[in-house]
Chains A and B, each alone.
Chain A
Amino acid sequence: MVDSETNLGNASKSVQVKLVLLGEAAVGKSSVVLRFVTNEFQSNKEPTIGAAFLTQKCRLEDRVLRYEIWDTAGQERFHSLAPMYYRNAQAAVVIYDVTKASSLDKAKSWVKELQRQAHPNIVIALVGNKIDLVRPLSLSLGFTPHPDSEEEADDATATPDGTTSGDAGPVCLRQVPREEAQAYAAETGLLFSETSAKTGEGIVEVFTAIAKKIPIEHIIASSRGSVGRFDVAGSRTVSQEGGVNLDEAAVKGTSSCSC
């Protein structure tokens, strides 16, 4: 799927993009990455000490991006180490847990910090994870502009295979309404989506949407020198598709914010 070696020929050089994952402990940062990188879900994941580092390629129509993903530790006391990981990052995925209201507050504070401390033109995506736990409520896929998109409620997505004891109890209520988070994202200029690392729903879309928003030319232009220093000049409109295996509900253009 999101593989590198099925080459399209024209994808001359892959552009390296540093991406950092932030969010409260146990919201599923590592699982999201793992799903994206290896398309696996492990319910018992070793906690991240400092940060884990993974890479994955992501294909757009005209270009291949090589994500360098820094998956940071979520526990609060590791917070002061985070700048080490988000410095020079061109993209950030800030994750919260839709079943835990406080995790959105933490996510907001990360966003604030990134906007003030990190690279000025960093592309930030806000992601509500673990929607498999609140399945019946809505089945809107990531990045669809209308949260009302109708349920094709395929129960298969709520894979019954897991539900291991380690996960929060079997019954979980949604604590963060999609609308609330989405409104916040729109107002702050973030990409937004809801995902499930367990089922894989919406994961790839997150990274594709980021890929589309990142001003690649500037990275290429500047990466010959030192890393970083790129400006969002104009809104890029690379049409999706590419090598990325988007689900049937492909990303329809406008992500919630295009600055």
Chain B
Amino acid sequence: MEINAVLSMGVQGEEDSYAGKLHLIPPYLAFTSLDRKSVRFTLPLSTIRRVERLNARAGIYALSLSTWHGMKIIVQLTSLRPTADAFCSLLREALKVELQKGQMKAVKGFVRTCYSEVLVSTSSTAPDNEREDGSLINDAKEGSPPVEMEYHGGLGLRFKFPGDAKKLREASKVKLWTTYLRAHGRNLTLLRYPQCTRLVQVGLPNRLRGEMWETLSGSLYLRFANPGLYERLLEENKGRTSTSTEDIEKDLHRSLPEYAGYQSEDGINALRRVLQAYSFRNPEVGYCQAMNILAAAILIYMSEEQAFWLLEVLCDRLLPGYYSPSMHGTLLDQRVFESLVHRCLPIIHDHFQVVDVQLSVASLPWFLSLFINSMPMVFAFRIVDCFFCMGPKVLFQVGLAVLKINGEKLLQIQDDGGFLNLMREYFASLGESAHPNSSDPRARAITRFQELLLVSFREFAVITDDTILSERRKFRNEIIHSIESFSKRSAIRNLKSLGRFTKDQAGLIYDALYKAMCVVPPPPAVAPPASLFTTNDGNYDRPETRVGLRTFHVFLSEILTWARDDKVVINGFQQRVDREIAEHELIDRLFYFWDTSCNGALSLQDLVSGLEGVMFNDLMDNIEWFFNLHDKNKDGHLTKDEVLTLSESFLFIFRYEIGDAYLGAVSRFMTNAFEYGDALLPRQENGEPGESSPPHIASNQPYLNLATFRMVVLADEILEAFFETDLSASFRLEPVPDLELPTNNGFLGDLWSNIATADNKKFFNKLTDEVGKTIGRHQVIYRPSIGRFTKLEEPKARESLLSPAMKSGSAGADTDTLGTSKSSSSTLAVDAEAAQSSKAASAFSPLPMVKAANAALMERTPFAIDDAGDDSDSDLESDIPEDDDQVMDEVDAFLEAHDSGLTDADKELAKDLIDAEPVK
């Protein structure tokens, strides 16, 4: 539930008040200011220790919240009274639930793992006395001073952090953060005021960096909500190997190898565990090169468990699809970036077009490894700070700024190589002065890196999260399409033999298989999911993608007319074809017939070869093919049982043919088969009993050979026609209608939404059927698989199926197949609508935690710029005590005004509330 609210700090004069929305998403309470950037927080309910209604002026409804850290927040609920009451009672219930779950007790242990606690408690002269103001529950009494805090930390604690601490002004930064964290809460209870973002922009202090990353990105909440999961994951999967673990091994020693921590076994082992744990946690993504760089980088600043959760947020939420097997997120964002360059820097874009330079050759690694691979680490980490604080748009902003700053030189380059060299030189020079020839020493002191941030966040502030989202939407389909056609091309290229098929035909087979795999994904044991779609992942020594029997059923029903039941349903509102997958022994038989390598699964090659074996056949070939299909032991003879099975196969194939012609043909076939068969039996003297059970031959002994079979078949005109053309023609390679692609995530097809679509379709169809039945206009016709006699004997055939009333009732219903296919397209339109609504429904159902974490990620404050004194003071001021405020002064110069969304009167009121007494 959400409600309008005004937030103020519980201390007079600490911060302005801000209007915004308060969201209750158990187990979280979150706030965002109206401008969605200035102020926000996400509090786990278990950190709220006391809630009081404040006694204030009439008509004002205000709550005072005390958090675990002793911080007091005042929220004035500005919605209508009943809404406010409802909100409060929900809040009360939610808090009770948390208390019962024992979550409240977990907080204490958890915050111990956070460095910020150490920072605040050790350097505070007046320790948090405010805390003892009676908590909601009783365990907050920690009498002794904060004993040995076991806070989490990264490799940097042992192997040094990159960069020169003095140059980085660590001490000043730590002091500023300590002050901020003491007043505004920390880790689980951090309130993000504009000051917080500003502090992030000047660079996080090394020791605090890891924790702030997890707090700002929201991964902290995941770690809090899933204690011990990381260790369990490793324990449960101990010794397990997979493609991912193999790939990880290859890269362990080449992940930031120049950092001392990764020249030691401890560092390597930590890296291995984090990457493996992620690959176990999310096998669909597994491991992608570049993740090792990210993991290695963040492990310098955080513990394994912290890094694991941060990696999860990074790969799943901040950079969705970047590291997936198709890398669709990467491709998409490259496309988006290109479009933004086109829009913001048209001259550069045009020049690139003219000289045929591809932007991605340089920009791809920027995005994939968050610049860590491109810039000196100290600078890259500054960008990473901003990235976790303000979200993925930072990458685009910095990328655009890099191009803009190098604009003139970029217009000189002639090819990809020149472009890359220029970028390399630029990144190597980031520490140099941006204006080396300026007469103003202050201007000279500005480094190129500072200039980069300045341009990024000032000139490209127009690039917002919404920009990125809408651009991504715009290019999504384009990217999906190109990935699909790429993997299709390479799947077909990698076929060993196309047989007599053209490439286009093989493409159609691929499409049908692709569709079948979306409906019934192949079992993961046989093929890692998504491998067909991504050009044979799972390298070449692993089995290719193979589909099982169930997927095969779906596949075949796309291609083979008698492998499906096409029900033409007419109910007065619509005429549609309900396609069902036929189940029959014959279909299974085909599967095993084509499984020449006896794998119990078919590859694309098996399918192509199998189809090739029947689709180009003439009469004699087809008779032989059909014979072989039923000759299980391949001895050139059918047994009696097999003859019966074969007859059943005929009946199955002809099951929807109109009229009795086929039935007669099959019956004649059986009679003849056994007659000839018996007649040809070598010297069977005591063959008394009738044709159906000849003398000595057991039902599983060789009985009928190919020549006899051929003779029997050719004796019948209808069967002859069937084998001459109809059999081959019943395999039809037709374009598969486009799958409806889900809009939410993964291009592969959010199965969930597919199912929802199908359900809706069914529901709609059922509804119209019901109505159709009640008004007597419902009928079902099976569409024949062969259809040879539809034209000839149609009137007669129809009569046998239709009631006389129906016949007169709807002339339109009496249409041939052409009409039905028309109607099926009209159903499609309806389906699309239904799909829309189902998607809307699905969008609102994710887990509350995900939602809360999303809320935490949603809002980002725009950037104010770096302090100009970043490392300028190394030479001159090194022994002058640093003036902490100075760090921020320069920042403030660039600050945008933050809009609190309140009038002066409102502000006054908010201030009054700070001193208000609780209601009894």
Contact = CB atoms under 8 A, between A and B. Distances in A.
A212 B285 CA distance: 43
Nearest to B288: A77
Nearest to A87: B358
Main secondary structure of the interface of B (DSSP, over half): loop
Interface in B243-257: 247, 250-257
29 contacts: A18-B417, A44-B254, A46-B254, A47-B251, A47-B255, A50-B361, A53-B416, A53-B420, A75-B289, A76-B534, A76-B535, A77-B323, A77-B325, A77-B326, A77-B327, A78-B289, A79-B534, A80-B327, A80-B486, A81-B331, A84-B360, A87-B358, A109-B540, A112-B493, A112-B494, A113-B490, A164-B253, A166-B253, A227-B415
A236 interface: no
A81 B323 CA distance: 13
A85 B251 CA distance: 22
B534 A77 contact: yes
B325 A101 contact: no
Considering residues A80, A87, A116, which has the most beta carbons from chain B within 10 angstroms of its beta carbon? A80
Given A49-B364, A227-B415, 5 more contacts: A48-B289, A50-B368, A79-B534, A79-B535, A80-B487
Most B Cβ at <10 Å: residue of A77, A79, A105, A166: A77
A178 to B, nearest CB: 20
B254 A45 contact: yes
A166 B905 CA distance: 68
B515 to A, nearest CB: 21
Contact of A76 (B324, B361, B416, B539): B539
Interface of A: 18, 24-26, 43-51, 53, 55, 68, 73, 75-81, 83-85, 87-88, 101-102, 105-106, 109, 112-113, 116-117, 164-166, 226-227
A109 B538 CA distance: 14
Given A68-B417, A77-B325, A227-B415, A49 B368 contact: yes
Contacts of A18: 417
Nearest to A106: B540
Interface string B517-540: 000000000000000001111111
Contact of A102 (B293, B360, B539): B539
B417 A78 contact: no
Interface in B533-552: 534-541
A49 B373 contact: yes
A25 B537 CA distance: 12
A168 to B, nearest CB: 10
Nearest to B285: A77
Interface residues of B, number: 50
B483 interface: yes
Nearest to A102: B541
B828 to A, nearest CB: 30
B292 interface: yes
A84 B539 contact: no
Nearest to B415: A227
Interface of B: 247, 250-257, 288-290, 292-293, 323-327, 330-331, 356, 358, 360-361, 364-365, 368-369, 373, 415-417, 420-421, 483, 486-487, 489-490, 493-494, 534-541
A116 B537 contact: no
Contacts of B290: 47, 49
A105 B543 CA distance: 13
Contacts of A53: 361, 416-417, 420-421
Contacts of B541: 101-102, 105
A223 B331 CA distance: 30
Nearest to A83: B486
Contacts of B493: 109, 112-113, 116
A114 B220 CA distance: 47
A80 B534 contact: yes
Nearest to B331: A80
Nearest to A79: B535
A210 B367 CA distance: 34
B483 A49 contact: no
Nearest to B251: A47
A71 to B, nearest CB: 12
Contacts of B373: 46, 49
A49 B255 contact: no
Contacts of A79: 490, 534-535
A51 B356 contact: no
A50 B365 contact: yes
A93 B590 CA distance: 43
A-B pairs, 3 with minimum CB distance: A102-B541, A105-B540, A166-B253
A105 B536 CA distance: 12
A233 to B, nearest CB: 24
Contact of B255 (A46, A105, A109, A165): A46
A187 to B, nearest CB: 15
A109 B256 CA distance: 31
Contacts of A51: 361
Contacts of B247: 25, 75
Contacts of A50: 360-361, 364-365, 368
A88 B490 CA distance: 19
